Amino acid sequence: MFANVGDELIIEGHRVGEPRRVGKVEEVRGDEGGPPYLVKWDDTGRSTLLFPGADCRIEHAAGTTTRKDS
Amino acid sequence: MKISDFALREPVVIGSDATVAETAVLMRTSGVGSVIIVDGQAPVGIVTDRDLVTRGLAEHYPTDGRIDGLMSTGLIAIDAHRDLEDLVHVFRDHAVRRVPIVDHDRVVGIVSLDDVMVFATEELSSVARVLAGQIMFPHASDEPKTPVPTT
């Protein structure tokens, strides 16, 4: 997984009726855009450190790179 | 109070390529109900004894299968230098009962909601003892001091 500061991080709900969680990447702690990420969640307004799983995807912000080698 | 000052439990970790049986044995020998799954030193998931039952036994998952097939991913962690209040917010905002404590991307401890509850209860009872003392002896600090004899 690769992310830049400012990218949107999305975790879809795991059960029917459970809303998706959306946050913004505030810090990239791993090497070369890798996890963990400090994410500010839209629903709580607070930041947590996330080691993302397979249910997580990144929406790259406009103007940021989408791959570490691009 | 910093989380690093809190009595952290030693993290019990196992590699993501370990088997379900190996993880169960580690839980037994370490006396824990959850194990953090790591890739190198970085945590990638967590498995609880309940996961072994509901996702393993109930789904006929082989005991020699890799443990990362059963683990919960999307691990919420917290830095060791953050405040205890931040940890409470993590428990409040996310549906988790255990939070790995990390220093950079290395796991240095794990804290459960039960640990926080025990700590909060002990703090509360300390306050209650002070309050009880003040109620029982309200003027203890106002008592006149022994007069100095004059000659």
Q: Encode pLDDT of A38-47 as tens digits.
A: 999 999 999 9
Is A44 within 8 Å of chain B by CB? Answer: yes
CA B132 to the chain's CA centroid: 30
**B43 → closest Cβ in A29, A46, A51:** A51
Structural domains for chain B: 3-112 (3.10.580.10)
Cβ distance of A29 and B72 shorter than 8 Å: no
| Averaged pLDDT score across all residues of chain B | 88
Chain A interface disruption, residue of B55, B81, B94, most A CBs within 10 A = B94
Contact B11, B100 (CB under 8 A): yes
Domain residue ranges of chain A, discontinuous segments joined by +: 8-59
Distance CA B95, CA B78 (A): 15
- Of the two residues B8 and B26, the one the predictor is more confident about is B26
User: Is residue B68 pLDDT above 60, yes or no?
Assistant: yes
pLDDT per residue as tens digits for the range B16-25 = 999 999 999 9
Tell me how many residue pairs between chain A and chain B have CB atoms under 8 A apart. Answer: 52
Give the pLDDT band of residue A70 (cuts 50, 70, 90).
Answer: very low
pLDDT per residue as tens digits for the range B99-143 = 999 988 788 889 988 888 888 888 888 888 888 888 888 776 666
CA distances from B141 to B132, B133, B138, B149 (A): 15, 11, 8, 22
Say yes or no: ipTM exceeds 0.85. no
User: Is residue A48 pLDDT above 60, yes or no?
Assistant: yes
As beta bridge partners, residue B9 has: B110
User: Is residue B82 pLDDT above 80, yes or no?
Assistant: yes
Give the strand order in the sheet containing A37-41: A56-59, A8-11, A21-28, A37-41, A47-51, B75-79, B98-103, B106-112
Cβ distance of B93 and A53 shorter than 8 Å: no
